């Protein structure tokens, strides 16, 4: 069989040595330029952890536990890449974006050198919360208020919830799925959003990656149709069949025992609204 190798090449620019401090450090980033600052919890929510949500949202909690969002900080692939680069703080702005999840806080950025960042120890670091990665409040909590794709009136739940139409738009996902390493100023390192826009697809990210299901999104509430939180995508055989066409072309129609087998496997993106794989 033919052997295939994928070689990734990263090109970075080098400029005059100096250190950028505070907000100035953010100008070198493409993507989330800072962590999520301390989130004040609304009444009825005792912890930032997803464990605060599971008693009432067990079905969604179980789905999230199977998602890569819940494993974004603990994934062996991420951990290997993060460790080999000496744990740069800017990676954590997506993989574990809350202040309380960060062992260190970025305070400056060197334009040159093997270790480009200046970081300090975080006194608010929560060793358990970091393991939840992109947890519930990362997407749903802002300004001491819970937001979602539908309104929750006072008295309907232990907490109120405000409707935010952005939960149903692809732009909601762009912050973490379109980014560039510091110093990579010519173009982004990951540009899934640009790929999606160029594809001309009408479906949103949520249409494909949060498939609709009828179930109990909340304890004590009637069944409803909601977007699943497992986001299986490439781990879902049905979604892969809808997105990709796989063809096998052999050099000969038949082979004898001992023959060398030679063939070509062609994978064509026929349905995904972005490159496969992408970020």
What is the rounded distance in angstroms from the CA atom of residue 42 to the CA atom of residue 146?
8
Residues 220-237, mean pLDDT to the nearest whole number: 89
Q: Choose between 244 and 156: higher pLDDT.
A: 244
By the 8 A CB rule, do 101 and 111 touch?
A: no
d(CA 59, CA 261): 48
C-alpha distances in Å from residue 186, one per residue of 30, 128, 141, 168, 197: 10, 37, 34, 31, 19
pTM (predicted TM-score): 0.79
Residue-by-residue DSSP string for the chain: ------------------EEEGGGGGGG-BS--S-B-PPPPPTT---SSTHHHHTT-HHHHHHHHHSSSTTTTT-HHHHHHHHHTT--GGGHHHHS-BGGG-SEEEEEEESSSSS-EEEEE-TT--TTGGGG-S-HHHHHEETTEEEESS-B-TTSSSS-BEE-GGGGSTHHHHTTSEEB-TT--SS-SEEHHHHHHHHT--S-HHHHHS-EEEE-SSTTS--EEEE-S---GGG-HHHHHHHEEEEEEESSS---TTPPP-EEEEEEESS-SS-SS--
pLDDT (0 to 100) of residue 268: 94
Residue indicated by tokens 């975080």: 122
Write down the pLDDT at residue 165: 93
Place 154 in a pLDDT band, splitting at 50, 70 and 90: confident
* 179-183, 208-212, 226-230: the lowest-pLDDT one: 179-183
14, 60, 159, 227 from 272: Cα distances, Å: 36, 25, 37, 19
Instruction: Please count the CA atoms within 13 angstroms of the CA of 212 that sit on its side-chain side.
Output: 7
Q: What is the pLDDT of residue 116?
A: 65
Q: How far is CA 112 from the centre of its chain?
A: 28
pLDDT tens figures, 246-264: 999 988 888 888 888 888 9
How many alpha carbons fall within 13 Å on the CB side of residue 15?
12
37-70 pLDDT, tens digit per residue, is 888 998 888 899 999 999 999 999 999 999 999 9
């Amino acid at each position: 069989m033919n052997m295939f190798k994928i070689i990734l090449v990263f090109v970075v620019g080098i400029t005059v040595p100096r250190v950028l401090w505070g907000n100035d450090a953010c100008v070198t980033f493409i993507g989330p330029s800072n962590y999520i600052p301390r989130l004040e919890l609304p009444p009825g929510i005792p912890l930032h952890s997803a464990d605060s949500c599971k008693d009432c949202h067990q079905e969604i909690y179980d789905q999230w536990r199977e998602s890569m969002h819940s494993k974004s900080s603990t994934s062996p692939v991420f951990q290997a890449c993060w460790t080999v680069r000496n744990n740069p703080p800017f990676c954590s702005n997506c993989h574990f974006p809350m202040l309380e999840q960060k062992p260190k806080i970025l305070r400056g950025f060197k334009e040159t050198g093997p270790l480009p960042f200046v970081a300090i120890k975080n006194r608010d670091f929560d060793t358990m919360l970091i393991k939840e990665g992109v947890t519930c409040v990362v997407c749903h909590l802002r300004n001491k208020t819970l937001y979602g794709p539908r309104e929750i009136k006072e008295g309907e739940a232990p907490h109120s919830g405000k409707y935010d139409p952005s939960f149903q738009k692809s732009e909601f996902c762009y912050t973490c799925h379109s980014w560039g390493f510091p110093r990579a100023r010519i173009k982004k390192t990951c540009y899934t959003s640009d790929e999606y826009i160029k594809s001309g697809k009408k479906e949103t990210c949520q249409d494909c990656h949060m498939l609709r299901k009828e179930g109990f999104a909340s304890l004590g509430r009637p069944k409803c149709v909601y977007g699943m939180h497992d986001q299986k995508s490439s781990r879902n055989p049905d979604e892969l069949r809808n997105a990709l066409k796989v063809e096998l072309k052999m050099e000969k129609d038949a082979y004898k025992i001992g023959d060398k087998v030679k063939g070509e496997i062609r994978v064509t993106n026929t349905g995904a609204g972005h490159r496969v794989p992408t970020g």
